């Protein structure tokens, strides 16, 4: 499994929860057979994007929800994550960090 994990170095881990997505970090190394060393990534909504609301639903609907823009910063903090089938149920390894907040949920 370690040989296949080496191909993940440089990719990003994003956590998916219902309709929201949060970046965890960038894979910078492998420890043992199934542990990833991850440099954490912080996401902040871009200052040039603001939600636009219109009446509807229970109170209002964000009409530009699908057009969110985020800025990502790699932090100096590192964490270790165990790469397993259970881990992959809520996480994806992707080429870029992703973030999404569902204002309409």
Q: For the chain, give the DSSP string.
A: -HHHHHTTTT-EEEEEETTEEEEEEEEEEEETTTEEEEEEEEEEE-TT----EEEETTEEEETTGGG--EEEEEEEEEEEEE-STTGGGTEEEESS---B--TT-
Residue 1 in this model has a pLDDT that exceeds 80: no
How much is the pLDDT for 3? 52
Tell me the average pLDDT across 27-46: 96
Tell me the average pLDDT across 38-53: 97
How much is the pLDDT for 4? 83
18 vs 27: CA distance, rounded Å: 23
Tell me the average pLDDT across 75-90: 95
How much is the pLDDT for 69? 97
The reply to whether the predicted model has a pTM over 0.85 is: yes
Residues 85, 13, 81, CA angle at the centre, nearest 5°?
A: 60
Model confidence pLDDT, tens digit, residues 50-73: 999 999 878 899 999 999 999 999
How much is the pLDDT for 59? 83
Structure tokens at 6: 């080496």
């Amino acid at each position: 499994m370690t040989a296949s994990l080496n191909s993940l170095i440089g990719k990003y881990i994003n956590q998916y929860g219902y309709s929201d997505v949060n970046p965890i970090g960038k894979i910078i190394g492998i420890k043992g057979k199934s542990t990833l060393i991850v440099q954490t990534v912080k996401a902040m909504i871009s200052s040039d994007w603001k939600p636009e609301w219109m009446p509807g639903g229970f109170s209002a609907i964000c009409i530009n929800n699908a057009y969110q823009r985020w800025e990502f910063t790699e932090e100096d903090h590192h964490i270790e994550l165990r790469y397993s089938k259970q881990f992959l149920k809520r996480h994806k390894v992707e080429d870029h960090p992703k973030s999404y907040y569902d204002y309409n949920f």
